[in-house]
Amino acid sequence: MYKYPTIFFLLALSIWSCSKDEKPIVITPNDYNNAVDKVTEVIIHDIFSPPVASRIYAYSNIAAYEVLVQKNKDYKSLAGKLTDLKPAPQASADAPVNYDLAALIAQMEIAKTLIFSEDKITALRDSLYTSWEKQNPTELSASKEYGLKVADHIKSWMDGDMYKQTRTMPKFSVNPDNPSRWQPTPPAYMDGIEPHWMKIRPFVIDSASQFKPLPPPEFSMEKDSEFYKQLIEVYDVRNAMTSEGDDSEKIAIAQFWDCNPYVSTHKGHLMFATKKITPGGHWIGIVKIATQKTNSNLMETVHAYTKTSIALFDGFISCWDEKYRSNLIRPETLINQYIDDSWAPVLQTPPFPEYSSGHSVVSGAAAEVLTQIYGDDFSFEDDTEVAYGLPVRNFTSFRTASSEAAMSRLYGGIHYRAAIEEGLKQGRQIGDYIVKNLNLKTDTAQAAN
Amino acid sequence: MNKYIQALFLVFVLISCSREPELFTNPDIEKAGISFKNTLTPNEDMNILDYLYFYNGGGVAVGDINNDGLPDIYFSGNQVKNELYLNKGNLQFENITEQAGVAGTSDWNTSAIMGDVNGDGFLDIYVCAVVGLNGLDGHNELFINNGDNTFTESSEKYGLDLDTFSSSAAFLDYDLDGDLDIYILNHAVHTQNSFGKAELRYERNAQTGDRLMRNDGGSFTDVSEEAGIYGGINSYGLGIAVSDFNLDGYPDIYVGNDFHEDDYYYLNNGDGTFTEDLKSHFGHTSRFSMGSDVADLNHDGWPDLISLDMLSEDEHVLKSSEGDDNIQTQRLRTDKYGYHYQFTRNMLYINREGGNYQESGLLSGVAATDWSWSALFGDFNQDMEQDLFISNGIPKRPNDLDYIKFVSSEQIQNKISNTGLIDQKALEKMPSGKTHNYIFEGTSELVFKDRSSNWIANDTLASGATAYGDFDNDGDLDLITNNLNSSPTLYVNQTNNKGNYLKVRLKSNTANPFAIGAKAYVYAGGIKQLKELYTVRGFQASSEPILHFGFKDIEMIDSVRIIWPDRTTQLLTNIEVNQILLVQQANTRAFNYKTLLSKQRPLFLKVNDSTSLDFTHREDAYSDFDREKLIPYQVGDRGPAVAIGDLNGDGKDDIFFGGSKFIASQIFMQTDSSFVKSKIHTIQNDSINEEVAAVIADFNKNGANDLFTATAGGDFSNKSKPLLDALYLNNKSEFIRANLPQLFENTSVLAVHDYDADGDLDVFVGSQSITGSFGKLPTSYLLENKNGNFAIAQEFKELGMVTSAIWDDFDGDSKKDLIVTGEWMHPIFLKNTGDKLVKQDKIKGDLYGLWQSIIAFDIDHDGDTDYVLGNWGENSKFKASDEFPMLMYYSDFDANGQTETLVVTEKNESYYPLLGLDALASQLVSLRKKYSTYKSFAGQTIEEILSYNQLKSSKKLKVNTLKSGYLRNDSGSYTFVPFNRDFQVAPIMTFCKFDFDNDGADEILAAGNYFGVQPFHGRLDSFTGALIKDEKTIITGDKLGLDFAQKSIRHLNTILFQNRNYLIATPNNGKVQLYQIGKSIKN
């Protein structure tokens, strides 16, 4: 009985909206989350390495952010704040631009440019276009035009970040004669990835080397040297975990934070890969959790994503600068060579030099930024890895999560302690620097707080 | 009416599809009475994920178990019971498994072989099993033939009931005590993800280590350890071949190991022990070694070998499958872990008198037959040349790149991490790897012609173990393959009377009545043929114990020499063809194996005393491929320079060796007793330079020799100082670096001559490349000497990627002219007019090659000068012809400021890049967007990969011949004449003219080999050098005492030392070799 009026109402509404005035298209924070999730999915599929993945997240989020700030008075544009970024073009005054919509369109456009499997992004985009077209073709058309205009603006900016040039720079040459130098690791013995990432233009930090960490302990296989002690610690920790068995908390921590986009397994001629999100992808997942938990609106959501991905981006540049400077050998190589030739770490060693730990740096940087936005006392259930077969873990703050992420590399058997501790320090310094130098809230918004 | 047409059409289609194959027909196997089928049932404990060799298939053994003259067949099944079929004649078989008691009890059988273990004249059957893996039960089984079509399983009694991971076994009498011993091939399941060191092979593992079992009369004793057989956890033994490879009368063993473990080459020491010595006899081997076979292919009386791998020739498969390693991984495996060079393709090893094998799989056309299991040589068409049958196919192709990178993650990951299993759905996503079997026709030039499309019917089966036998007793060799999940295939040979044959059956009175290990040398029509009686051949199989020979239309065989396993011999003469010759061991006399060795006397005697000339060139670690990932080969490894001349004015010639980047050059001063390393600081302080060419001569005419060095290295770029060539003027033994015009190209050659006849030496400086811009043609220069000061007299812009140049008067005007050649170049004749050099057209036809070397020599002794040219050879993945030249496109295809070089070759009349998607996209990232899967990229021609405009706007270079040969001088115009195949196995890098044999006339000595290529080419290491006396008389270096195989020789020089002539052979990245030359040996 009482259903009828509703149906009738909806029917009437739809006829009315099709024929007469169009209804504004509403973009929810969840729509944005979905678009970011799609980017994560394609990053996994296309197997982008962690630094490259951070670039995809960063530019696509920045594009959305730069659209949104055009109408939002609480937040400032990134123009002039990020290296070489100029103010975005304005929409023509009379165009009925829906900035929320344009932001999402700009995000998808940049993401599509940066990934390989475009069809996966366009499938999402086109289905959205179809439904928006039905809702309000005028608004869609104007917003699309503006969104793509800003995307073009971002594209020409990002074109100058040296990414294209670094693609064809020399491969990393392994130095086989120096025992302290990094060597490819089992099972795939891949080349060192992104040896020129330090040449990528950073966003906020002055240069790749601005937060250069202390050098790692001097390489030495003398038993009483600091380096050797740290090497043996990796070996001992693994053995202790093994004796604790499968229920070891440390194993759980190592696996939870593995974040290796491409774990290659060889079984005879059968090879296969286990693909997961990157360390940056994990923190992007935490952003989603935080924005949802705080019921952030679209602007706040995009802001959180943007600022976090800026921290991740600069974090990788800083870390990669150090990696190919110190060019340090992985514990697995040394343990196999000097201590136990059948030893294998819990996690697969990723294909680049050891020092400093990438996960530690970017987790440190991301946690500082998120702490600034949401506060230090922010507990959350981290279910980011559930889709990859891992359980939920609970954290009381972003900083405790980042500390655990860093320490997971020791449990995983892929880093020495120095890379973790110095890496976390390095990341926190970067995060802190971004917090201090990238204040995006306007005075009115701050006053309102 | 309509139906009529349809029916007609159908008939037409059927007829056209079922065109009878020309050589082998496949009768209905069930009508022949064979119902065996090796059906695989994957289950939770046994599947491709849990057992890496799940798809390797069963075995097949052929032999006459009841001595009725008809070969019978025994099949082993993995999970199904084994079956024995009695040959009833007329291609009818009867399953007598049950009454014979040979079904077997093991859970997982592999190989099946026949041999007379107890020496009673009846063939017994030995079946291998995988035991202990994933709960598999059982043991290897030995079915002793009771002589009445029944068998008694007696493995325990004989001590052969091994419960290991056996893949195959082979009978041989290794200690020549007259009974059959057995080598048991076990396979590793080493799941460790890291390679592990090669030394793992020294530590015995009970389940995976191979075993040598000595027959002690009624029982077998494991003598592996004392005999020197490796037994490590790394030995993925899949192939085994027994042969007297070095012709000393004792059987040797070749074991083919899968994955990174080296193959093993066991030479029998004759005292019950073996010496494994792969590395010194083989330059490189197949990587994923599977089956193998041995036969003398080139009629030189020495057994040659093939070892199979899994490379596909089909672009669609090739480009969507995991290929060879990159260079860094290869270096890691060889340098750090101690493994040998291994590459993913079939390898054909031509035996050079038991010394170094010449690997010519690519040159011979048998390198790529996809996922190959069994190789069997046999003269299937009876034309006196060995043909080759290769079985292949795998139900699922686990190295498919899309599967590895995109499909597996979603399909397998959870399954594996949770249960350790792979489910059926995940498997279904893996593409099929069932390819047709291959058959090749052998030719006298050691080139095999692919006859798969007309000699046999096209199949889509996974065929594994294969054996031959004359099932219909008509004289020609028939074949039987054991297939996965389908009935076996019987190939009935229809050669019949189109070619004559001889089948030899041997009978010995020893405990080895079938005379396993005997040899037969057969001479007919002026051609020698060798066969050895080893029945275990191919893969997991044994063939009929007969020796089969083809004779084309020859009716009478001059002689048959049987050499029995006990090193005695008997000679039979004037044997008629087309018969089964039964030879009973009788009236034998001792055979002297030394008579089989070459009578050629070595012309060179290597001086092993390292004190006399102790120089080792070390190439620096720079890899050109790190910078320019797509270039076809390196340019940074072309040193060292060698120059000979008297530097200290004592009348004796000294030697200058160039260094590589950051490694100083070295100078050796000749004294009365040796060559002494000495320092000339001005020269050696320029240690940063990589000198690739050098000349010692008196350039400033002060009576003392100076040194001119040319630098390259491929690493220094733009206007880096180390790229500048250098002139060191000798002023009373003080060397002072003089000024030269600033030439920043990577120089390759210096050619010195007073071209303007003004009394001083001028220099042609040939350039090979511009660092970072491979394909861009550098400028070469003619420098004119004016009182020791050099100035550019002539610039040759874009002359080409020059590698060599000589001055020689080619037009008879008494002025020496210049001939320049190089890579992607046509040899260029530059006439000397007295004040400049002018290009002239002298050669008939196109002659673009990857030329490495040139020398003037009247090769046909007709009084005019011919030019001998060293090219790349035809034993790599490069391919070039007049019709389909190899092409190189050079352009900045992606407009990012860095040029790319793309090399394409023809296949089925289309051009494809040699590199795969990963390699191309490492430089042209946009291809990742264009091709989101490997499947979409595979099979794409270059015109599809790049746009018309991209190709059109690029620079295009070509090569239309890769053959080495000579320019025959026909009254001043030149015609190219290629050399024989021995010259085409590797690049020829250098020549040296000298009267080596002291007969009053000069000869040419050639040397070469080159390793600066990507692993998918392999290693161009098989040229042993050659002495060219005239166009017909060419002797290869292995017969001359030269040790050039596996070395990349860059220079040959002669030097007078202690009043004797010596040859200096200088390799890249290796130790210099000093040889005393022939005439001194005679003293």
Given this model, what pLDDT does residue A265 score? 80
Given B934, B958, B982, the domain boundary residue is B958
**Predicted confidence (pLDDT) per residue in A335-358, tens digit:** 999 999 889 999 999 999 999 999
Residues B692 and B762 reside in one and the same domain: yes
**Over residues B478-486, mean pLDDT:** 97
3-state secondary structure (DSSP) of residue B404: helix
pLDDT at A247: 83
* Domain boundary pick from B477, B507, B537: B507
Per-residue pLDDT tens for B99-131?
999 999 999 999 999 999 999 999 999 999 999
Which DSSP symbol is given to B477? P
Q: Please write the tens of the pLDDT for every residue from A120-151.
A: 999 999 999 999 999 999 999 999 999 999 99
- Residue B228: left (phi > 0), alpha (psi -120 to 50), or beta? left
Can you read off the two tokens belonging to residue B614? 């102790």
The mean pLDDT of B509-528, rounded to a whole number, is 97
Look up tokens 């079992």; give the residue.
B213
> Where in chain A is CATH 1.10.606.20?
175-448
Our measurement of the distance from residue A41's CA atom to the centroid of its chain's CA atoms, rounded to an integer in Å, reads 12
User: DSSP strand E in B758-842: where?
Assistant: 762-769, 780-786, 789-796, 801-808, 817-825, 828-832, 837-840
Interchain pair B625, A274: CB under 8 A: no
Question: Do B951 and B1033 belong together in one domain?
Answer: no
Residues 244-303 of chain A whose Cβ lies under 8 A from any Cβ of chain B:
264-275
Partner-chain residue, chosen from B288, B336, B408, that has the shortest CB–CB distance to A176: B336
CB contact under 8 A, A167 and B329: no
CA distances from B588 to A114, B435, B576, B581 (A): 80, 48, 21, 17
Distance CA B780, CA B749 (A): 10
Best CA proximity match to B544, nearest among B455, B644, B473:
B473
Instruction: Kindly report the nearest CA distance between residue A273 and chain B, in angstroms.
Output: 5
Q: Which of B23-37, B127-141, B418-432 has the lowest mean pLDDT?
A: B418-432
What are the two backbone dihedrals, phi and then psi, of residue A408, each rounded to the nearest 5 degrees?
A: -60, -25
Nearest Cα residue to A413 out of A356, A354, A362, A326 = A354
Distance CA(A356)–CA(A420), nearest Å, equals 7
Residues in chain B closer than 8 A to A170 (CB atoms): 626-627
* Virtual torsion, Cα A39, A43, A46, A52, nearest 10 deg: 120
Residue B418 lies in a domain: no
Inter-chain residue contact A341 with B932, CB threshold 8 Å: no
Tell if the CB–CB gap between A173 and B192 is shorter than 8 Å. Answer: no
**B958, B976, B1008: which is the final residue of a domain?**
B958
Q: Which of A165, A266, A389 sits opposite B897 (nearest CB)?
A: A165
Same domain, residue pair B699 and B552:
no
For the record, the structure tokens of B194 come out as 């890291």
Q: Do A170 and B626 touch (CB under 8 A)?
A: yes
Cβ-Cβ pairs closer than 8 A, A with B, add up to: 121
Has residue A18 got a pLDDT over 60? no
**In B511-521, which positions are buried (b, 16+ CB within 10 angstroms) versus exposed (e)?**
bbbbbbbbbbb
A344 vs B288: CB contact, 8 Å cut-off? no
Could you say which of B328, B417, B621 has the minimum Cβ distance to residue A191? B328
Average pLDDT of the segment spanning B805-818: 97
Chain B interface test: which of A117, A182, A270 (most B C-beta within 10 Å)? A270
| B8 domain-assigned | no
Does A390 contact B at CB distance below 8 Å? Answer: no
Question: Is A186 in Cβ contact with B195 (below 8 Å)?
Answer: yes
Identify the H or E element spanning B141: strand B141-145
CA distance, residue A143 to nearest chain B CA (Å): 27
For residues B112 and B231, membership in a common domain is answered with: yes
- Please state the ipTM of this predicted complex: 0.90
Dihedral (CA of A254, A257, A260, A261) sign: positive
Residue of A112, A121, A269, A342 best to disrupt the B interface, most CBs of B under 10 A: A269
Selected residue with higher pLDDT from A206 and B420: A206
> Is A174 touching B (CB cutoff 8 A)?
yes
Q: In what order do the strands lie in the sheet with B124-129?
A: B109-115, B124-129, B141-145, B151-153
CA distance A109 to chain B (A): 15
User: Mean pLDDT over all residues of chain B?
Assistant: 94
* Residue to test with chain B: of A272, A276, A339, most B Cβ within 10 A: A272
Q: Determine the Cα–Cα distance for residues B609 and B599; give it in Å rounded to an integer.
A: 27
Which residues on chain B are in Cβ contact (under 8 Å) with A265?
Answer: 193, 416
Q: Which pTM does this prediction carry?
A: 0.94
Residue B732, in any domain of the structure: yes
Please report which helix (H) or strand (E) contains residue A221, including its range. none
Residue A6: the pLDDT is 52
Specify whether B565 is located in the same domain as B446.
Answer: no
pLDDT of B14 reads: 45
pLDDT at res. B196: 82
- The pairing of strands B438-441 and B347-351 is unpaired
Per-residue pLDDT, averaged over B166-191, amounts to 95
What is the domain count for chain B? 5
Q: Which CATH architecture has domain A22-164?
A: Up-down Bundle (1.20)
Q: Which chain B residues touch A45 with a CB distance below 8 Å? A: 406
Which range (B12-26, B96-110, B240-254) has the least confidence? Answer: B12-26
B109 and B236 assigned to the same domain: yes
B653: part of which helix (H) or strand (E)?
Answer: none
Residues 6+ apart with CB under 8 A from B302: B245, B247, B296, B351, B352, B353, B354, B530
- Quickly list H helices, A257-378: 279-293, 298-326, 331-334, 358-374
Nearest to B923 among A168, A265, A273 (CB): A168
Q: How confident is the model at residue B423 (pLDDT cuts 50, 70, 90)?
A: low
- Cβ atoms of B92 and B41 closer than 8 Å: no
Residues B30 and B112 occupy one common structural domain: yes
Q: Is the pLDDT reported for residue B18 higher than 80?
A: no
How many angstroms away from the CA of A332 is the closest CA of chain B?
10
What local confidence, expressed as pLDDT, does residue A15 receive? 45
Residues B240 and B350 in one domain: yes
Looking at the predicted structure, is the pLDDT value of residue A2 above 60?
Answer: no
3-state secondary structure of B279: helix
Is pLDDT of B85 > 80? yes
The whole-number pLDDT of residue B172 equals 98
pLDDT at A443: 78
B6 belongs to a structural domain: no
pLDDT of B15 reads: 45
pLDDT for residue A177: 83
Considering the domain architecture, whether residues B494 and B453 belong to the same structural domain is answered as yes
Residue B90: CB atoms within 10 Å = 10
Q: Do B896 and A168 touch (CB under 8 A)?
A: yes
Minimum CA–CA partner of B403 in chain A? A272
A10 pLDDT higher than 70: no
- A-chain CB neighbours of B922 within 8 Å are 167, 171
Quick check: B626 and A171 CB within 8 A?
Answer: yes
Q: What are phi and psi of B73, to 5 degrees?
A: -130, 135
User: Cα dist. B786→B693, B708, B742, B763, B795 in Å?
Assistant: 22, 15, 16, 11, 17
Which element (helix H / strand E) includes B449? strand B449-450
Residue extent(s) of CATH 1.20.144 domains in chain A: 22-164
B477 found inside a domain: yes
Contacts of A44 in chain B (CB under 8 A): 409
Structure tokens at A204: 């906020």
Helix and strand counts by DSSP (H, E) for chain A? 16, 4
Q: CA torsion sign, B38 to B44 to B49 to B50?
A: negative
Residues of chain A positioned with their CB less than 8 A from the CB of B627: 170-171
Q: In terms of domains, do B82 and B99 share one?
A: yes
**Is A201 near chain B, with CB under 8 Å?**
no
Residues B1008 and B1070 reside in one and the same domain: yes
Q: In CATH, what number does A175-448 get?
A: 1.10.606.20
Same domain, yes or no: B131 and B271: yes
Residues B836-859 pLDDT 10s: 999 999 998 999 999 999 999 999
Nearest CA in chain A to B337: A337
pLDDT value of position A4 = 53
- Bridge partners (DSSP) listed for residue B400: B321
The C-alpha R_g of chain B, in whole angstroms, comes to: 31
Give A146 or A16, the one with higher predicted confidence: A146
pLDDT score recorded for residue B328: 87
In terms of CA atoms, which chain A residue is nearest residue B630? A168
Q: Which domain, by its residues, includes B121?
A: 24-393+434-507
Residue B753's DSSP bridge partners are B762
Distance, CA of A370 to CA of A435 (rounded, Å): 9
Per-residue three-class SS string for B559-606: EEEEECCCCEEEEEEEEECCEEEEEECCCCEECCHHHHCCCCCCCEEE
pLDDT tens, position by position, A279-325: 999 999 999 999 999 999 999 999 999 999 999 999 999 999 999 99
pLDDT in tens, B873-925: 999 999 999 999 999 999 999 888 889 999 999 999 999 999 999 999 999 99
Instruction: With CA atoms as reference, report the closest residue to A136 among A292, A240, A25.
Output: A25
Cβ neighbours of A396 (radius 10 Å): 12
> Whole-angstrom Cα distance, residue B114 to residue B71?
11
Query: What pLDDT is recorded for position A416?
Result: 98
Q: pLDDT tens across B257-316, in order?
A: 999 999 999 999 999 999 999 999 999 999 999 999 999 999 999 999 999 999 999 999
Buried b (16+ CB within 10 A) or exposed e, B714-744: bbbeeeeebbbbbbbbbeeeebebbebeebb
Nearest Cβ partner for A173 among B621, B925, B932 = B621
